[in-house]
Amino acid sequence: MVRIDTVGADTSAVIKAMNQLAFDALVYAEGDSWFDKFTPIPSEGTNLLEEIRTPFVAGVVDVAHIGDEVRDMVRSWQASRTREMFRLFSFKAILLSAGGNDLKNVFADLFANKGLARAGQRSRVSEEDFERLATPASFTEFFEDVITNIQRFVDMRDEAQDPVTRKAPIFVHGYDYLQPRPAGASIFSGTRIGRGPWLYPALEAAGLSDPQMRSVADAIVDELNRQLRAAFLDVADVHVIDQRGLLTPAEPRTTTSSNDWMDEIHPTEGGFAKLARNRWDVELSKALGWVPNAGDVEPALPPSNGSTAFGGGLPPVA
């Protein structure tokens, strides 16, 4: 795919690219750092969009932003620019990477408060909430908020003025299992954008061991995937990409690239390529009109590791 740079979702950049290049199809991509070209800041090129391949010359209009929560994508100027894109252009497919920042921020805050209580300081989180941290899936209101906002994005597709875009399949995804660890891509100090590590400090302060950290992260990933399937399994032209178990998690406590992970929450270039080859390329290509012949498609790699959710338990609050 050919990325069309659209700073601020500038429609003129799309028109210019369409005039210069003979695209077979247009694809719209909204999302977080898994799509944003500057991942990690200040580098570029290590993201999922760079690795997806199709048999067509497809222009991908990328309006993703590092650090975005899904609510950012469906309100204010971002929503208005998406609606304008959906009015002006015919998109054959729409890619959405959303929910990861919402959930990591929520649970990092909760475990940070657990760490305060453990250190004998006052916390705004109740004892009941601390008990619920043993099963992150029990915080249904946080997941429901993510799903509701993804549904609002689907609604924008359904209301698109362009008839092709209005019928375009939307591809949403969960995330893969990761090991919380002290590996970040810090650049913007004092912000949630690009700082990292994103989960490890709060989980460590809460007294979790490395296996317990992995268990918590796996539980959150599992629940997001479950909620996505439950919400969109029967929704017309919405496809849920399940990426769980494909990537090899990083080794605990490592601070640099490890196995398939560049930092705590972003895969390496090879990791993104593995996801693209085995979970994205064929499905997106078919959506764009590709009809494979016998032997054209190799079997996708099966999951290579399972969830450890709740396997280690959580330590009590002191």
For residues 281 and 63, give the distance between their C-alpha atoms in angstroms, rounded to a whole number.
20
| Opening angle at CA 104, ends 221 and 130, nearest 5 | 90
Where the chain has pLDDT below 70, the residues are 7, 40-45, 125, 186-194, 311-318
Q: Are 65 and 32 in contact (CB under 8 A)?
A: yes
pLDDT (tens digit per residue) in 161-194? 999 999 999 999 999 999 999 998 755 444 445 5
User: pTM for the complete prediction?
Assistant: 0.91
Residue 67 exposure: Cα atoms within 13 Å on the Cβ side: 13
The pLDDT value recorded for residue 318 is 36
Q: How many CB atoms lie within 10 A of CB 12?
A: 8
Cβ-count burial of 294 within 10 angstroms (0-12 exposed, 13-18 middle, 19+ buried)? exposed
pLDDT (tens digit per residue) in 5-32? 776 788 999 999 999 999 999 999 999 9
The pLDDT value recorded for residue 77 is 92
The pLDDT value recorded for residue 172 is 98
The pLDDT value recorded for residue 49 is 94
